Amino acid sequence: MSALAAARAWLAQDPDEVTRAELADLIERADAGDADAQADLDDRFAGRLAFGTAGLRGRLGAGSNRMNRVLVGQAAAGLAAYLNDKAGPDAPPTVVIGYDGRRNSDVFARDSAELFAGAGLRAILLPRLLPTPVLAYAVRHLGADAGVMVTASHNPPDDNGYKVYLGGADGGSQIVSPADAEIAAHIQRVADAEDLGTLPRGVYEIADEEVVDAYVTATATVAPAPAGAAGMRWVYTAMHGVGHETLARILDLAGYPQPTVVDAQIEPDGAFPTVSFPNPEEPGAMDLSYETARAAGAEFILANDPDADRLAVAIPDADADGGWRRLTGNQVGLLLGWRAARTATSGGSLACSLVSSPGLQAVAEHYGLDFHATLTGFKWISRAPGIVYGFEEALGYLVNPGTVRDKDGISAAIAMLGLIAEAREEGRTLADLLAQFDETFGAFASGQVSVRVDDVAIIGRIMAALRLDPPASVGEVGVARIEDLAEGGGDAPAGDVLRYWLDDGSRVIVRPSGTEPKLKVYLDVRGESAVDAEARLAALDAGARALVSAAQG
């Protein structure tokens, strides 16, 4: 089917006035011979936004290659068919739906709830826009068979997404294979056979506030405030997201002082007016936090991303630009892992993605705990046997696996507040804790090289070039061993990942991003001291950039 024919068929079933007008204009212009309009249609209908282990995520707009009400409706109908296929004879499946403050999140959530109900499921919509961790909690708390969170997390403002969780034996974790492929097949059958307008819609339930109250109560127990919390001065930003209301309630219940907030970023706003990319890791995203912290005389900063499943931490640093330094995800992850290991009372395991700092394994071994390295994503980390704590370097932390089987930036914030308050009782700061970690476990330092591309095919060509002509060294350090995880093997999970072990014990990992058009290169070193580790990391960074540049041609 041509793009123009596909566009006409899509227009006939689109219930959204905005995307209908957008598509009708493109069709009219393409019919008149406008080459730009035709190229736009070709792009919008070149394929279908893929449903995988990350669910759906993409740019808002009309067409099968965009996020819109037709695509989401087809996804909801396909997921309903999958759940009905798996259901027992006793009761219809239950699915709970949440949404954040992004454009159309509420619309996509209501559409999904109506289509789930129309397919015979018990559909429960959360009472208002809420953080992703509340939805992940609700799946387990309500005993639901599945959960859907409408969010694109920290993606750019024009994106949205559709994240799927499974209950039952999956314990409220995000979907993994083969469920993703089975759901995708059901979605495709719906898209091939149905006009969205003919699908039945039903009446859904609105969840009681008790669900949110229960999450607040459970999260407050992660780290009730010790005496050292008194007088704590800190700054918080929600990054135009949905984290603040829920966090503020937990702070009161757990006994922590409320923060000075970044006023311009504290209310949900899907336009993200103060940041071009609402991710605390991006340059400039935390500048308003630093400005607020300087004015408030704050001791530290905590930041959630827009759906509050990630946490960033910053501390004063006279040598840093603006006087503040954001800690890396690995630094925060290792501190929280150290805390988890100290408080683990009956064994268990620590887990992190294979691209996260190897320092967590050193912590696990020190405390006699098991350790697991997984593929990236909390769908894998949360499934580590006996997990008591897990993290990934992209600011994601699972600190309360008995409550939420996913990364949770709010419970991680409470755990971090507890860690800081305990240090304050001894007259110490977060910087002191970082130094103590190095003294105890070794000076680990990590970095990342990201190559953003317009054409994702470039990433495949780089990976192919590295496989075809493996490097003998990275910079001036020889490569001792190469692991290609494309086929798995040993204790390593399978994935499109290249792992290089260097002669000096350093590690370089190359993989495509799972959510963005980026190639990511992860660098890890272990030095004799923090200064030595940073020097090793700087040299490795230069070598990694040269390696990728050569592979790119």
Q: Quickly list DSSP for 464-501.
A: HHHHHS--SEETTEEEEEEEEGGG-BTTBPPSS-EEEE
Peptide linkage before 178 cis (omega within 30 of 0): yes
Count CB atoms within 10 A of the CB of residue 12: 11
Q: Mean pLDDT throughout 258-267?
A: 98
DSSP string, 331-350: HHHHHHHHHHHHH-SS--EE
Question: What percentage of the chain's residues is helix, strand, coil (to nearest 5)?
Answer: 40, 20, 35
Q: Residue 143: which residues within 8 A CB-CB, separation 6 or more?
A: 94, 167
Would you say the C-alpha torsion 499, 504, 505, 506 has a positive or negative sign?
Answer: negative
Is pLDDT larger for residue 455 or for residue 335?
Answer: 335
Taking the C-alpha atoms of 225, 229, 233 and 236 in order, what is their torsion angle to the nearest 10 degrees?
Answer: -20
Domain boundaries, given as residue ranges, for the chain: 1-46, 66-208, 223-440, 442-552
* 411 has catalytic annotation: no
Q: What's residue 492's pLDDT?
A: 57
**Largest Cα span, the chain:** 74
Give the architecture-level CATH label for domain 223-440. 3-Layer(aba) Sandwich (3.40)
Look up tokens 């740019």; give the residue.
59
Q: How far apart are CA 544 and CA 513, in angstroms?
A: 17
pLDDT digits (tens, 9 = 90+) for 269-286: 999 999 989 999 999 999
CB 344 within 8 A of CB 283: no
User: Which CATH code of 3.30.1360.20, 3.10.20.30, 3.30.420.10, 3.30.310.50 fits the domain covering 442-552?
Assistant: 3.30.310.50
Which among 120, 141, 121 is positioned nearest to 130, based on CA atoms? Answer: 141
Determine the average pLDDT of the residues in 66-95.
Answer: 95
Give the relative orientation of helices 3-13 and 17-31 as an angle to the nearest 10 degrees.
150
* Position with higher pLDDT, 376 vs 387: 387
Whether residue 88 has pLDDT greater than 90: no
Per-residue model confidence (pLDDT) at position 514: 72
Residue 454 gets which letter from DSSP? S
pLDDT score, position 489: 54
What CATH class does 66-208 carry? alpha beta
Q: Which of 105, 153, 353, 382 is catalytic?
A: 153
CA 379/CA 365 separation, integer angstroms: 24
- What does the alpha-carbon distance between residue 45 and residue 129 come to, in Å, rounded to a whole number? 31
Q: Evaluate if residue 109 carries a pLDDT over 90.
A: yes
Q: What pLDDT does residue 488 have?
A: 65
pLDDT recorded at residue 97: 98
Fold: same for 66-208 and 223-440? yes
pLDDT of 58 > 90? The answer is: yes
Extract the tokens encoding 456.
Answer: 């994702």
445 CB-near residues (< 8 Å, 6+ apart): 524, 525, 526, 527, 530, 533, 534, 536, 537
Residue 171 has pLDDT above 60, yes or no: yes
Each residue's pLDDT tens digit, 459-512: 999 999 999 999 999 999 999 999 998 876 555 567 899 999 999 999 999 999
Confidence of residue 455 (pLDDT cuts 50, 70, 90): confident
| From 80-84, 327-331, 342-346, 479-483, the region with the lowest mean pLDDT | 342-346
Higher pLDDT, 337 or 485: 337
Burial class (CB in 10 A: 0-12, 13-18, 19+), 290: buried
Work out the average pLDDT over 178-205. 94
541 CA to centre of own chain? 25
pLDDT (0 to 100) of residue 182: 96
- Residue 321 pLDDT: 85
464 near 454, Cβ under 8 Å? no
Confidence of residue 28 (pLDDT cuts 50, 70, 90): very high
Average pLDDT (172-199) is: 94
pLDDT tens, position by position, 296-305: 999 999 999 9
Percentage of the chain surpassing pLDDT 90?
A: 90
Give SS3 for 351. Answer: strand
Per-residue model confidence (pLDDT) at position 515: 67
**Across residues 413-422, what is the average pLDDT?**
98
The answer to whether 46 touches 30, Cβ cutoff 8 Å, is no
